Each structure stands twice: as structure tokens, then as C-alpha cells.
């Protein structure tokens, strides 16, 4: 069993079928095809308001192109120290932002807390053109540590951003896992709380390669599309991005996949606890961070289980990520099959 | 029939089969999987030289990321006015290179000619930090106007580049069509002629979305990989880029597809000429540029043919692009249906 990441998974059957269905006819390129033309309406239906959808093939592209419309080359993006944009996306934000700087702050379980954010922004001293002034706040839902912002937490962050005139961005690489955990309407934790842009992840949760930039402020569309083209992310055969996204929404596939992944993570947490591991955080999405002894780690590896150490949480910390295809029954049986 | 571009085509059956094949198993991410690990060897065999392969999902990304390692932010890239990097890739080259400038020049059928290139570069006055000095030459094979550089053409350009100490890049979005036309070894028009890097196109010629940066100078690899990551072009499920490329070169699918597209373009040229159109220049790849009357253009559109006007060549010029899936029988039948 491979728990090293959710991106080790293949394409789920529904998305593969949607791609395969696009194998006969010719279709207009660069988003002029029928499937691509359906995207705005499909996502507007999902979010309960008019949105613009700009699909790209990777989560990094969705984040850094999404942010490029929200911050000037002279501005800062406040994010958590552990944010993917800060730790795992090279200098992508500066590249697409023309130099914009990430301003990392702390918070428990990779969450930014509204009060701490307010204090940070209040304490920031602007020295005019000499300093980097925050222009945008970026949070990750679910977080890099597998926790989920509640609706109230999201609303509180939105209020702080409104007070300080900050743009608000959400890295939703695992947005589906968060919505599945919260069981709320997607609008509650996005535009109703003041979010301008969301990167709506699909790649980790069953797609081949597509994440959608969702613009709640439609005025950002032109700039975002220009940055996508300039960054080489506009697909000529754009219909294959669209086909994946439409299949991902169809019949709530995105939520079904995410619920499965979350349930697998809960089952894994239980199995590992039985075997002596201690969770570092309460797992709410599909990621699990645990502390365990070397002996147990070795036993799991010997049984063919793949996972990663997570040294930023301590030498005995490890990450396990479940996905839409995780075998829940086998996970439940782990204490019996491996022993403890 | 849609001749608007070769990118209106779907993927070909071999590529779909490859995408479908390992649909149920997990695999390491970011190129650590078994298929991705085969790419360097597969392309090294194809080019008969040790190469490094960095796949991306679009041709613009392949071009701009490649160039980012071949030119400094203060340098220039000599290319043809009609080059895709100059006409159709927004400000991508400047973006990825940190400001490098395109220095366009002319030439017949969108080809750079070695003598002209030598004259252009020799004629530039270097004013140190004040000027933009060329550091790289970029040519497109097959060209944007459907012509193909011969082996001698590319060699001559390579020699000029060596003389002036310029890097040489090839935009190979339609490299397969050029190879199907030349029937030479891929090495002859690339590294043996001094090409440092090529964007090896697959998307237009039967893939879903993948073009490979192929580095003949493998020392460029770390820098290219960093530029790919920084720009969001490193796929987590990298195996799906790899599987497309491996299926594309296996059993010469790339050359079969391109040979078909080129033959379809020739068949279409025959039909159009019979209808009274004329080619602006010889069609050597899968693209045709034709002069025709508004009446004939209307007649073709009424018959369901799709194609673009190409005003840069004249008000009465149009482009037709045939792809791997063009129906040659239907094209030939146009002779009777059009009358």
C-alpha cells in the first residue's frame, strides 16, 4: 500500500472514460470547444454564483497563476510557513507575481488564525516603497497538515482581510477533502467568506492532470488568461482539461472520491493507533501525521507500506496520505495482518 | 473536414491505449515512476546520442523553458518573424528568460538562411551593456509556413552559429512532419548539425498533451528542471506524460502519423489546385498555404471545409493543416463533390 502521497494514484475510471470519449471527433482548440464552453456554467452551478473557470494541468500552476492576479510585483502574500506555495513550489509565486514576496506566519496545524493574522497586519510597518506591504492572504484548505478550517474560521479570516483591504486566495489542492469533511456548501467557505480566487484541485483526487482556477471576481479573468498563456499553460487540446473537470463534478464524483479518501485516513488512523502510533494532529481530511517508534516504522515498511518521514514535525514523525483508491478493508485489517 | 489546425485532432489510438494501460496501479510521482525513467534511454536511442528528456504538456512551455537555459536575461534570440515564439507565444520567451529579447529576421517560407543569418549577426554592433547581443538562434522545423529545412540547410545554420558562438535551438512542434518528409536520421538535422536543444512535438501529431524538451547538451538538465518546476510545469502524475511519449515513438507511431498527415496535405493540395487555387510555396510538411479567389473559398466553406485566412501572406491567402487523422479518401472525393 502506497501512502506516500495522493498523487501516486492513477486516473479514476469515470475520468478515464470521459477522456476516452473525446477520442473521435475533431474539436476547436484553446478552449473554444463545446466541453470547455460548459465549464463556467458547471462551476457557477456548483458555487451558486457566476464564476470564471481557467483550467491548468498542475496545482502549482493553479496557485501561482491564481495569485498573479491578486498581488503586485511590489507586494506581499501572507501565508502559513508550511503553505505549499512557500515550501513546495520553488520560486513560482515570485516568478508569476513579477517578484511578489511570500510573508510566512505561524499557526497550529498549518492553519492561519484570524486573530494572529489581524495582529500581524496591524503590526506591519509600511515604509512606502522601501518595504513589502501585504496585499493578499493565501490559506490552504484542507491544510498541509491534514486539518480543515471550519466555516467560522474561514469567515473570521475573511473579515480580517476585508478590514485590512487584503485580497484572499485559497489553495484548494485538497478542497474536495475539506468540503467532504465539513459537509457544507462550497460557497460557505469561499466567496461568501470573501475569497477572490480558489485553486480547485482535481489531480490528487482522481483526475489525470487538471486543477481549475476559479475566479469569484470575474474582472480577474483577462489577466489570469494572459498569465496562463504567457506561462505556457494554455492547452491547445483544451477539451481534455475540460472533459476531466466536467466528469469530476458529474454526480458529485469529486465528493465521493474525497469521502472515500477521508474515510480511509480515519481507518488508517485507527489502525496505526492500535499499533502504538500517536497522531500529531486530529486528522480531518485525507492526510495523517503521526509519531511512532522506529520499530513500528520498520515493521510497516517491511510489510510493504510506503510512507514518508516528516522531519519538520520531529524525527519520529511520518506522513500517510490516503486517496480515492485506498483499500479501506485492508487498512482496517492492518493490526491483524502486521501485528503490533 | 476541419483543416483549421492539427491541434483540433483528438489523440490517436496508440496514445489512448497507453493512457488506459496502467489505470489501476499507483506509481511514484514527479518522474520517479518506471515509465518516466525510460525516457532518457528511449530518446537516446532515437537520436543515437545520450540526451536528457524533460516532458511538458504544451509546445509553448517546451519552447520557452528550453530557451530559458540558452540565453541570458540580457541577450537576444535570433528567429524568423513568422516564428511561433515571435507570433503566438505571447511574451513567453521574455517571461521565462527573465527579459531576453527576440531579434526577428526575414527569409523565404519562414526559413532562416545561413548567409542572411551570418550577415545579420556580423552586422550587429555590440555596445556592451547598452545593446542586446544575440546569444542564441531559434529555427522551426517544419517551419510555420509548412516548409522543411534540408539537412544541408540546418548544417549551414549550425556552422554560422558555431562561428559566432551562438546556441542553436529548434522548435520541433512539427518535427515529425519534417522527418517524414526528409526521411533522414533525426540526428542529421539536430545534434550533428549543432542543435543544443529541441522541443520535440507530440501534441499536434497524435498525443493528448505532451511535448518533450530534448537536450543534446545534457549539462542543461538541472537548470531546465528548475525552470520547469518554478513555472508549474512539473506534473505530479508524470507517468502520463511519459506514457504518451513512449507510445509516440514506439514502432515509429510518430513517423507514421506524420507521414499520413503529409500525404493528406499533398492530396488536399492536388484537389485545391484542380479547383483553381495555387500554393504560395511548396508544401513539404502537413501545412498548405494557398492563394484562391473569394468564390472558391466560399465554395469550400459551403462544402463544410474549415480553414483559416492567412492575411500576413495576402488577403487571398489561406492556411490548411492536415493531421494524423485526416481522411485521405474523403479529401480525394472532394474532386467529385466540388465538381
CATH code of the domain in which B268 resides: 3.90.1150.10
* Under 8 Å between Cβ of A180 and A298: no
Q: Is the per-residue pLDDT at A340 higher than 70? A: no
d(CA A315, CA A331): 24
Q: Which of B223, B252, B281 is the last residue of a domain?
A: B252
Q: Let me know whether B265 and B145 are in one domain.
A: no
The A52-56 sheet, strands edge to edge? A52-56, A211-215, A197-201, A167-172, A133-140, A75-80, A101-105
Q: In this predicted structure, what is the pLDDT of residue A25? A: 83
Q: How far is A152 from chain B (nearest CA, A)?
A: 32
Interface of B with A in 311-330 (CB under 8 A): 323, 325
- Do A237 and B233 count as a contact with CB atoms less than 8 A apart? no
Please answer yes or no on whether B229 and A61 come within 8 Å at the CB atom: no
**The Cα angle at residue A90 between residues B38 and A261, in degrees rounded to 5:** 70
> What is the band of B22 on the pLDDT scale with cuts at 50, 70, 90?
confident
- Chain A closest CA to B324's CA: distance in Å? 11
When pLDDT is cut at 50, 70 and 90, the band that residue A339 belongs to is low
Q: Does B68 touch chain A if contact means CB atoms closer than 8 Å? A: no
What is the domain count for chain B? 2
Q: Do B7 and A29 touch (CB under 8 A)?
A: yes
Instruction: Say if residue B118 is in the same domain as residue B224.
Output: yes
With b for 16 or more beta-carbon neighbours within 10 A and e for fewer, the B165-193 pattern comes to ebbbbbbbbbbbbbbbbbeeebebbbbbb
CA distance readout (Å), A199 to A62, A150, A166, A170: 5, 18, 18, 6
Interface of B with A in 222-261 (CB under 8 A): 226, 229-237, 240
> Is B4 contained in some domain?
no
> Closest Cα of chain B to A308: distance in Å?
12
> How far is residue B92 CA from its own chain's centroid?
16
Please name the member of A92, A229, A240 whose beta carbon is closest to the beta carbon of B231: A92
**Domains delineated in chain A:** 12-251 (3.40.640.10), 254-338 (3.90.1150.10)
Same domain, B112 and B189: yes
Domain termination residue (choose one: B252, B284, B312):
B252
In this prediction, what percent of chain B has a pLDDT beyond 90? 96
Shortest CB distance from A236 goes to which of B7, B232, B325?
B7
In a shared domain, residues B205 and B258: no
Indicate whether B184 and B266 sit together in one domain: no
Q: Which of residues 218-277 of A touch B (CB under 8 A)?
A: 226, 229-237, 240
Average pLDDT over residues A250-275: 98
CB atoms within 10 A of CB B296: 18
What's the mean pLDDT in A116-141?
Answer: 96
Output the CA–CA distances (angstroms, integers) from residue A49 to A45, A70, A140, A186, B251, in the order listed.
Answer: 7, 20, 22, 11, 50
Q: Which of residues 22-51 of B touch A (CB under 8 A)?
A: 22-30
Average pLDDT across chain B, whole number: 97
Tell me which chain A residue has its CA closest to the CA of residue B10. Answer: A23
Contact A182, A151 (CB under 8 A): yes
At residue A155 the predicted structure's pLDDT band, cuts being 50, 70 and 90, is very high
Q: Are residues B75 and B126 in the same domain?
A: yes
- Taking residue A14's Cβ as centre, other Cβ atoms within 10 Å add up to 17
- Burial letters for A41-64: b for 16+ Cβ neighbours within 10 Å, e otherwise? ebbeebbeeebbbbbbbbbbbbbb
Q: How far apart are CA B17 and CA B93, in angstroms?
A: 34
The answer to whether residue B296 scores a pLDDT higher than 90 is: yes
Residue in B20, B204, B237 nearest the CB of A16: B20
| Same structural domain, B237 and B121 | yes
> How sure is the predictor about B23, in pLDDT bands with cuts at 50, 70 and 90?
confident
* Residues of chain A positioned with their CB less than 8 A from the CB of B29: 4-5, 7-8
How does pLDDT run across B46-75, given as a tens digit for each residue? 999 999 999 999 999 999 999 999 999 999
From A2, A19, A231, residue closest to B231, measured CB to CB: A231
Residue A116 predicted with pLDDT over 80? yes
Sign of CA dihedral B75, B78, B84, B86: positive
Count other Cβ atoms within 10 Å, centred on residue B115: 10
Those of residues 194-213 in A touching chain B at CB distance below 8 A are 203-204, 208-209
What order of strands is seen across the sheet that includes strand B278-279?
B278-279, B287-291, B317-321, B308-309
In this structure, the answer to whether residues B41 and B179 fall within a common structural domain is yes
Q: At B68, which helix (H) or strand (E)?
A: helix B59-68
B39 part of a folded domain? yes
Q: Sorting pLDDT into bands at 50, 70 and 90, what band is A232?
A: very high
The model's pLDDT over A179-197, given as tens digits with 9 standing for 90+, comes to 999 999 999 999 999 999 9
Pick from B28, B91, B240: which is nearest to A208 by CB?
B240
pLDDT in tens, A86-102: 999 999 999 999 999 99
Of the residues B197, B232, B252, the one at which a domain ends: B252
pLDDT tens by residue, B65-105: 999 999 999 999 999 999 999 999 999 999 999 999 999 99
* B273 CB neighbour count, 10 Å cutoff: 14
Q: What is the CATH number of the domain that holds B173?
A: 3.40.640.10
pLDDT for the residue A112:
98
User: How far apart are the CA of A239 and the nearest CA of chain B, in angstroms?
Assistant: 9
**Nearest-by-CA chain A residue for B16:** A20
CB contact under 8 A, A29 and B8: yes
Of B26, B208, B231, the CB nearest to A2: B26
Interface predicted TM-score of the whole assembly (ipTM), two decimals: 0.92
Residues B116 and B88 placed together within one structural domain of the fold: yes
User: How high is the mean pLDDT of chain A?
Assistant: 97
Q: Has residue B3 been placed in a domain?
A: no
Full-model pTM: 0.94
Residues B112-124 have pLDDT tens digits of 999 999 999 999 9
Domain range spanning residue B276? 254-338
Amino acid at each position: 500500500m502506497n501512502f506516500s502521497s495522493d498523487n501516486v494514484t492513477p486516473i479514476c475510471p469515470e475520468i478515464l472514460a470521459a477522456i476516452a470519449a473525446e477520442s473521435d471527433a475533431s474539436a476547436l482548440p484553446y478552449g473554444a470547444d463545446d466541453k470547455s464552453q460548459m465549464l463556467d456554467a458547471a462551476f457557477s452551478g456548483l458555487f451558486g454564483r457566476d464564476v470564471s473557470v481557467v483550467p491548468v494541468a498542475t496545482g502549482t500552476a493553479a496557485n501561482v497563476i491564481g495569485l498573479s492576479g491578486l498581488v503586485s510585483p511590489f507586494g506581499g502574500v501572507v501565508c502559513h510557513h508550511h503553505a505549499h506555495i512557500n515550501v513546495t513550489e520553488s520560486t513560482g509565486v515570485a516568478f508569476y507575481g513579477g517578484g511578489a514576496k511570500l510573508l510566512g506566519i505561524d499557526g497550529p496545524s498549518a492553519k492561519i488564525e484570524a486573530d494572529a493574522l489581524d495582529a500581524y497586519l496591524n503590526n506591519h510597518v509600511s515604509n512606502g516603497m522601501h518595504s513589502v506591504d501585504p496585499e493578499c492572504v493565501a490559506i490552504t484548505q484542507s491544510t498541509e497538515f491534514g486539518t480543515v478550517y471550519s466555516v467560522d474560521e474561514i469567515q473570521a479570516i475573511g473579515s480580517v482581510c476585508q478590514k485590512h483591504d487584503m485580497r484572499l486566495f485559497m489553495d484548494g489542492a485538497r478542497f474536495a477533502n475539506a468540503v467532504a469533511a465539513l459537509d457544507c456548501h462550497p460557497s460557505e467557505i469561499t466567496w461568501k467568506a470573501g475569497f477572490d480566487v480558489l485553486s480547485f484541485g482535481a489531480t490528487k483526487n482522481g483526475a489525470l492532470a487538471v486543477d481549475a482556477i476559479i475566479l469569484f471576481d470575474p474582472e480577474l479573468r483577462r489577466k489570469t488568461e494572459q498569465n496562463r498563456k504567457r506561462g505556457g499553460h494554455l492547452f491547445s487540446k483544451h477539451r481534455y482539461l475540460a472533459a476531466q473537470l466536467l466528469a469530476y463534478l458529474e454526480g458529485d464524483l469529486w465528493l465521493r472520491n474525497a469521502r472515500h479518501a477521508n474515510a480511509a485516513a480515519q481507518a488508517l488512523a485507527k489502525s496505526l493507533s492500535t499499533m502504538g502510533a500517536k497522531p500529531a494532529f486530529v486528522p480531518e481530511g485525507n492526510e495523517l501525521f503521526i509519531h511512532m517508534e522506529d520499530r513500528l516504522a520498520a515493521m510497516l515498511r517491511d510489510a510493504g507500506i510506503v510512507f514518508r518521514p516528516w522531519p519538520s514535525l520531529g524525527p519520529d514523525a511520518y506522513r500517510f496520505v490516503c486517496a480515492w483508491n485506498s483499500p479501506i478493508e485492508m487498512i482496517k485489517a492492518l493490526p491483524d495482518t502486521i501485528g503490533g | 473536414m476541419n483543416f483549421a489546425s492539427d491541434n483540433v485532432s483528438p489523440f490517436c489510438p496508440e496514445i489512448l491505449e497507453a493512457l488506459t494501460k496502467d489505470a489501476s496501479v499507483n506509481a511514484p510521482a514527479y518522474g520517479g515512476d518506471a515509465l518516466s525513467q525510460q525516457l532518457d534511454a528511449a530518446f537516446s536511442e532515437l537520436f543515437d546520442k545520450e540526451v536528457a528528456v524533460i516532458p511538458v504538456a504544451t509546445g509553448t512551455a517546451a519552447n520557452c523553458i528550453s530557451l530559458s537555459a540558452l540565453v541570458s536575461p540580457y541577450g537576444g534570440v535570433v528567429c524568423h518573424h513568422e516564428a511561433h515564439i515571435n507570433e503566438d507565444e505571447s511574451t513567453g520567451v521574455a517571461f521565462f528568460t527573465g527579459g531576453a529579447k527576440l531579434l526577428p529576421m526575414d527569409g523565404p517560407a519562414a526559413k532562416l538562411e545561413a548567409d542572411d543569418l551570418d550577415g545579420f549577426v556580423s552586422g550587429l554592433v555590440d555596445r556592451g551593456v547598452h545593446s542586446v547581443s544575440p546569444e542564441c538562434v531559434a529555427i522551426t522545423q517544419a517551419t510555420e509556413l509548412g516548409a522543411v529545412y534540408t539537412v544541408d540547410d540546418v548544417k549551414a545554420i549550425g556552422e554560422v552559429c558555431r562561428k559566432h558562438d551562438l546556441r542553436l535551438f529548434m522548435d520541433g512542434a512539427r518535427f515529425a512532419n519534417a522527418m517524414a518528409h526528409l526521411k533522414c536520421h533525426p540526428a542529421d538535422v539536430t545534434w550533428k548539425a549543432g542543435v543544443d536543444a529541441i522541443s520535440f512535438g507530440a501534441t499536434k501529431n497524435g498525443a493528448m498533451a505532451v511535448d518533450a524538451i530534448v537536450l543534446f547538451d545534457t549539462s542543461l538538465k538541472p537548470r531546465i528542471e528548475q525552470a520547469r518546476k518554478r513555472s508549474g510545469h512539473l506534473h505530479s502524475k508524470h507517468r502520463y506524460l511519459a506514457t504518451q511519449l513512449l507510445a509516440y515513438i514506439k514502432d515509429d507511431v510518430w513517423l507514421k502519423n506524420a507521414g499520413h498527415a503529409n500525404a493528406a496535405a499533398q492530396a488536399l493540395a492536388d484537389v485545391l489546385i484542380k479547383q483553381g487555387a495555387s500554393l504560395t510555396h511548396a508544401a513539404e510538411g502537413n501545412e498548405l498555404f494557398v492563394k484562391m479567389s473569394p468564390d472558391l473559398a466560399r465554395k469550400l466553406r459551403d462544402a463544410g471545409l474549415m480553414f483559416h485566412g492567412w492575411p500576413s501572406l495576402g488577403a487571398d491567402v489561406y492556411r490548411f493543416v492536415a493531421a494524423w487523422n485526416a481522411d485521405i479518401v474523403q479529401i480525394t472525393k472532394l474532386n467529385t463533390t466540388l465538381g
